Amino acid sequence: LIKKDKITFVISPLKALEDDHIQQFHGMGLAAVAVNADTYDAALHKELLCYKYQIMYVSPKMLIKNKKFNSSLVCSPEYSKWVLDWVIDEAHYIS
């Protein structure tokens, strides 16, 4: 389920799949973004804080190692109110 006023986090270990899925979501008119070491910067962080995206593909490494991302988004009670669900894509790749 995707809701316009909620965020779905997708944990994905494969950047190629992230890009492919994001393009598919864009084709459906949904706002989706990949958040990983290559894409995450101050501008993207600001967009995330403004709830610009409905679907957020996040690498496991971002969830584990990026303190700014975790403290202001993932672990934030205010931000959590907007999270609809968490999905683990390609779970067999995560170890």
pLDDT digits 0-9 by tens, 71-94:
889 889 888 899 999 888 876 665
pLDDT (average), residues 47-67: 92
Q: In what order do the strands lie in the sheet with 32-35?
A: 32-35, 55-58, 7-11, 83-88
The domains of the chain, with CATH numbers, are 7-93 (3.40.50.300)
pLDDT (average), residues 11-19: 87
7 touches 51 (CB < 8 A) = yes
The first and second tokens of residue 32, run together, are 């989706």
- Paired sense of beta strands 83-88 and 7-11, if any: parallel
The first and second tokens of residue 29, run together, are 């008119």
In this prediction the pTM is 0.85
Q: Which residue would you say has higher pLDDT here, 91 or 17?
A: 17
Confidence label for 35 from pLDDT (cuts 50, 70 and 90): very high
Say if residue 45's pLDDT is above 80.
Answer: yes
Instruction: Note the pLDDT of residue 7.
Output: 93
How far is the C-alpha of 22 from the C-alpha of 16, rounded, in Å? 10
Instruction: Note the pLDDT of residue 91.
Output: 67
Say if residue 18's pLDDT is above 70.
Answer: yes
